[in-house]
Amino acid sequence: MRRRGKGNGMSVDIQRLVVYLHLARASELRRRPLVRDRLLVIAAALAQVAGLSRIAALCRCKVLQSNPGHMLRRWEQMAEAVENEDFGGLLKQLIRRFPPEKAEQMLQSLNVEWKGQRAAYFNDEEYAASIWGLTAEQLARDYPLADDAAG
């Protein structure tokens, strides 16, 4: 069962994901690709665990576009990566470097307004996609799930 955040309807898992996505986007805009990629790896794992496989795929692809040799290339899907011990070690290192509390403080220091935005979207996936300037339709087109082909 996911814990709900304070009055905004988002689970704590989704709140954390949103913080890391906003920070990754800000890092991209500030031309800090290494920081962006580290934050995207955390976001990819959080998205996968939260059941947002398309967002996880988006994050994974962004990392691999800028760094084709990244460890993430070893797995076709984030679902495989989050189950892997090697990836788990990398994720632990990154979370130690950017723990949730520090990530929120970093976001606040950048004056990024994100609280309350979720209410404008139909679901968590649509909201997360919007952080990268994508619609739900673009996300579904660019990152189809295996289930999409069956339906």
| Number of domains present in the structure of the chain | 1
Predicted pLDDT at 79: 97
Predicted pLDDT at 81: 98
Assessment of whether the complete model's pTM goes beyond 0.75: yes
pLDDT in tens, 72-105: 999 999 999 999 999 999 999 999 999 999 999 9
Alpha carbon distance 57, 147 (integer Å) = 14
HEC readout, the chain = CCCECCCCCCEHHHHHHHHHHHHHHHHHHCCCHHHHHHHHHHHHHHHHHCCCHHHHHHHHHHHHHHCCCCHHHHCCCHHHHHCCHHHHHHHHHHHHHCCHHHHHHHHHHCCCCCCCHHHHCCCHHHHHHHHCCCCHHHHHHHCCCHHHHHC
For 121, counting Cβ atoms within 10 Å of its Cβ (0-12 exposed, 13-18 middle, 19+ buried), the class is middle
Give the range among 48-57, 95-104, 108-117 with minimum mean pLDDT.
108-117
Q: What percent of the chain has pLDDT over 70?
A: 87
Predicted pLDDT at 4: 41
Predicted pLDDT at 8: 47
Q: Between the ranges 81-90, 104-113, 141-150, where is the mean pLDDT highest?
A: 81-90
Asked whether residue 26 is assigned to any structural domain, the reply reads yes
Asked whether residue 2 is assigned to any structural domain, the reply reads no
pLDDT confidence band for 118 (50 / 70 / 90) = confident
Query: Whole domain around residue 130: which residue ranges?
Result: 12-146
Nearest to 27 by CA among 89, 109, 85: 109
Asked whether residue 131 is assigned to any structural domain, the reply reads yes
Asked if residue 144 has pLDDT above 50, the reply is yes
Asked whether residue 151 is assigned to any structural domain, the reply reads no
Predicted pLDDT at 113: 73
Asked whether residue 5 is assigned to any structural domain, the reply reads no
Asked whether residue 1 is assigned to any structural domain, the reply reads no
Asked whether residue 67 is assigned to any structural domain, the reply reads yes
Asked whether residue 121 is assigned to any structural domain, the reply reads yes
